[in-house]
Structure 1
Amino acid sequence: MNNRNLAAAVGVALGAALVTSACDAGSAGKQARSECVQIVDESTGKKTGDCMPLAPKKDRVDLGKPAFSRSTSITNPLHPSSEVKQVIYGGHVDGKPFRTEFTLLPGTKTITLKGEQVKARTMQYMALSDGRIAELALDWFAQADDGSVWYLGEDVFNYRDGVVADTEGTWLAGKTGPAAMIMPAMPETGDVYRPENVPEVVFEEVTVKATGQTVDGPYGPVKGAITVNELHMDGTREDKVFAPGYGEFSTGNAQGDLEAVSLAVPTDAKAGPLPGELTALSGAVRAVHDGPTDATARKARAAWDAYEASDRVPRLLVRQMEHDLDALTRAVAAQDAGAGRGAALRVAQNTVDLRLRYEPLVSVEADRMDLWAHQLTIDADAGDKGSVAGDVTSLELTWDRVRPGTPADKAAAVDDALRELREAADGKDTAAAAKSAPRLLAALGAAS
C-alpha cells in the first residue's frame, strides 16, 4: 500500500526543504549531518528551521541502483502488489469512520528512470471518510531483481464535497524525484529506507523495528509480519505493520487514528457458496438502504445478529458494523434523514465487503456499482448536491476497475450514462441526476 500518512488521506500533503549543507546554527548542535530535511509546522505549512532526526546514512538500505528486468511481478510477501487483487481497510480518522478500497488495476504504466523504461503495476487507493469519497491515489510499484519493491510515484486527488479540492502529494519518479524503496527484499531490524523522498512534495523515512512477528489476521494468525516506525515531514512518528499476503496491515491505534485490514482477496477467499445468512443480510440491508425506517433498521439488525452468530467475521468488520447499525438506529429515532442516509450507506458498504470472501471480485465490484447507483438516486431525490457529486465520482472510480472485463457494447452504454451524470453533477443539477440515474441502473443491469 502507498505509505501515506493517515492525516493526508483527508487533508493536504505538507512541504519540506532539502538543504545540502548542515542545518541552521540553532539545530546544528542537535543534529550534525550533511543533509537536512526541515520539519514543517503542520498547522501553518511553514518550515520551522529545525532538521528532522534522520537516521545515519550507514543504516540506509535504499541507496543502491535497482535493476528492473521483471518489474511487474511483485511477489515480495510483505508488499505483494501483483498478487493481492483487493484489500479493504477500515478504522477511523479525525473521529469519523474511515474505509479504503485498495485495488490492483489491469495493465501497466511505463516510467522513465534515468533513461531506463520501467514497467510498473498500478494500485488504486480509494479512501472514504464517513462513507464518502475523500481521496483517490493511483500508486505505481515495481519490484527490483533482488526482490525489493520500489514506489515510482502517485497521482493524488483530494476531495471536498465530492469534487477535487487539490492534488497535493502527487509525484512521479524520474521527474519529481527519485524512485523510492517501499519494502526491502528481506527486511532486518534496524534497516532504514525512504518510501517517499521528494522534499517539498512528499517525504518519509522508515526504520524497521521488529521482524518475524505474528499478528491477528482477519481470519486467524498471520506469521512473518514486521513493524516499522515512520518519520513524517512534521517530525511526528507512527508505527506501521506489514504482513505477508496483505502488505500494509495496520497504521495507528484504536485510541487515535486507525487504518487496518478488514480483509483481502485472494488471501482471505473461501471456497463454497455464499452463506444463507449473508444472503439474508444483504436483502435486509438493501431494504434499509432504500429507506431507513424503524422497521427496516430493526430487520437489518436482526439479520446482522443472525449472520454474525453463524459465520466467522473479522473483528474490525464487526466493530464497524456495530458502530454503523447503532448510528442508523439513532438517526431513525431522531428522524435525522441525512444521518440515516449516511449510516445506511456505510452498513451497505460493510455488507458488500463481507461478500468478498465468498464471491469473485468481479461480482462484488458489480454490487458496488449497483450500490452507488442506488445511493445516487437517494441523494439526488434529497437534493444533496455535494453527495451527488461524490456518488458520481465513486461510480467513475469503481467503473475504472469494472470496465476492462465488460463487453464493449455494454460498457459503452454505462459510459454514456456516466457522462450524462457527470454533466448533471458538475452543473449541480440534482433533478437532472435523478432523471439520469435510472438509465445508469438499466445499463448496469445489462452489463451484469
Structure 2
Amino acid sequence: MRLSHLTAVLLLVAAGVTACGDSSPNDAAPNDGSTPTRAEVPDASSFTTVIDNPFMPWTPGAVYTYEGGAERITVEVTDDTREVMGVTTVVVHDTVSESGKVVEDTYDWYAQDADGNVWYFGEDSKEIADGKTTSTEGSWEAGVDGAQPGIAMEADPQVGDYYYQEFYEGHAVDTGEVLALDEHVDVPLGSYDDCLRTEDVNPLDTSVVEDKFYAPGIGLVLETGVKGSDERSELVEFAPGD
C-alpha cells in the first residue's frame, strides 16, 4: 500500500488523524465523500497481532496468489512481527513478478485494534530491475518523519464510509470508500457472495481509480481498474495458513 502524511498541525486536523485516542473510524458521522473519516489512532496497548477481521484475516502462513496481465503477485502472512510506534505488528510479505522475475518486493506491517479495525503501519518496499534495487520511494514507517498509520480494513464497513488507508506527505496517500457489501465475484479460484467493494484513490494522483473486492473469510479476491487503468488482478491460489 502507499500512504502520505501532513506534518503541519492544521493539515493533520483536516485529515482527521491524530496520534492518540480510542475511537474507531465508524464513530464519526457519515460524510458526503469529500473528506476522509477522522480516525484516531488507539493506544498501543489496545492492538493485537491476532488479525481476524472477516474481510482481512491475516492468518500466519496464509498465502494469496493473484494474476493479472503479465504480473503474478504473491502475498504471504509471515510469523514475523515488527514494533512500530510501540505497536507489535504482523509482517506481510508481498512480491510482484513479471516473466518469472521479481520486480517489486515489499514487507507491510499490520495490527488489529480492540474494535476489530485493521491498521496499516507502513512498509519496506523495493522496486527491482535486473536483480538490483532501483527505488524505495514507496517505503514509510508510522511515527517517522510525521507519518501516521491508516485504516486498512474497518471492523464494521458501511456503504459511504470514506477513510485514509495510508498517510505520509508527498510520498504515499491512499483513501478507501465503501461502495457495496453484497457483491458477487467470479475469479479463477471460485465464486464468492456478499463481497465488500471499496474504491481506492491516491489523492496525489486522482487519474487512477481502483475497485477492490473482499470475500468474507478470505480477504481480497479481485482488484480492477475503473479509471485510468484497465488492469484486473484475480485470486488464483489461496492457502489458508495455520
- TM-score range relative to shorter protein: 0.7 to 0.9
Aligned to 2:29: none
Asked if the contact 1:84/1:245 (under 8 Å) is kept, the reply is no
**1:263 matched residue in structure 2:** 237
Whether the 8 Å CA contact 1:209–1:228 is kept in 2: the answer is yes
Question: How many Å separate the matches in 2 of 1:199 and 1:249?
Answer: 29
Other structure's SS at 1:208 match: strand
> C-alpha offsets along residues 268-327 of structure 1, whole Å, 9 cap, x if unaligned?
xxxxxxxxxxxxxxxxxxxxxxxxxxxxxxxxxxxxxxxxxxxxxxxxxxxxxxxxxxxx
Secondary structure class of the residue paired with 2:170: coil
Correspondence for 1:63 among 39, 47, 52:
39
Alignment check: 8 A CA contact 2:48 2:88 kept: yes
Look up the match of 1:122. Answer: 91
* Maintained 8 Å contact 2:59/2:240: no
Would the alpha carbon gap of residues 223 and 170 (structure 1) be closer, same or farther in structure 2, given more than 3 Å must change? same
Structure ID, larger Rg: 1
CA RMSD of aligned residues (A): 2.9
2:116 to 138, 144, 147: 147
Could you tell me which amino acid in structure 2 is paired with residue 178 of structure 1?
A: Q
Answer 1 or 2: which has greater helix percent: 1
Report what 1:212 is aligned to: 182
Q: Indicate conservation of the 8 Å contact 1:138/1:154, yes or no.
A: yes
The residue matched to 1:138 in structure 2 has which SS? strand
Structure 1 residues 19 and 110, CA gap change in structure 2 (3 angstroms): closer
For 2:128 and 2:103, the matched residues in 1 are separated by 5
- TM-score normalized with structure 2 length: 0.80
Q: TM-score, normalised by structure 1?
A: 0.45
1:191 maps to which residue? 161
Change (3 A) 1:107 1:21: closer
Quote the offset at 1:258 in angstroms.
2.1
- For the structure 1 residues 131 and 73, does the alpha-carbon distance in structure 2 shift closer, same or farther, using more than 3 Å as the test? same
CA shift, 1:151, in A, is 0.3
Residue of structure 1 equivalent to 2:23: none
The question of whether the paired residues in 1 share the 8 Å contact of 2:175 and 2:200 is answered with yes
Query: How many residues get paired?
Result: 219
Deviation (angstroms), 1:137? 0.4
Q: % of aligned pairs identical?
A: 26
Deviation of residue 217 (structure 1)? 4.6
Matches within 5 A, 1:384-403: none
Q: Select the residue among 98, 104, 109 that pairs with 2:82.
A: 109
In 2, the alpha carbon distance for the partners of 1:128 and 1:248 equals 18
Match of 1:339 in 2: none
Shift of 1:63: 1.3
Q: Paired residue for 1:99? A: 72
Residue ranges of structure 2 left out of the alignment (5+ in a row): 16-31
- Residue deviations 1:83-118, cap 9 Å, x none? 5610001112xxxx1001111122211112xxxx21
Gaps of at least 5 residues in structure 1 are 5-12, 23-33, 37-53, 268-360, 362-448
Pairing 1:77–2:54 present: yes
State the Cα distance separating 1:238 from its structure 2 match. Answer: 1.9
CA distance in 2, matches of 1:21, 1:107: 36
Verify the 8 A CA contact 2:187 2:222 in the aligned structure 1. no
Alpha-carbon deviation of 1:66?
Answer: 2.3
- Decide whether the 8 Å contact of 1:87 with 1:265 is kept in 2: yes
Amino acid at match of 2:213: V
Shift of 1:73: 0.2
The one-letter code sitting in structure 1 at the alignment partner of 2:46 is S
Letter in 1 for 2:81: T
Relative to structure 1, is the Cα distance of residues 120 and 209 closer, same or farther in structure 2, using a 3 angstrom cutoff?
same
**Cα pair 1:152 1:173 within 8 Å, conserved:** yes
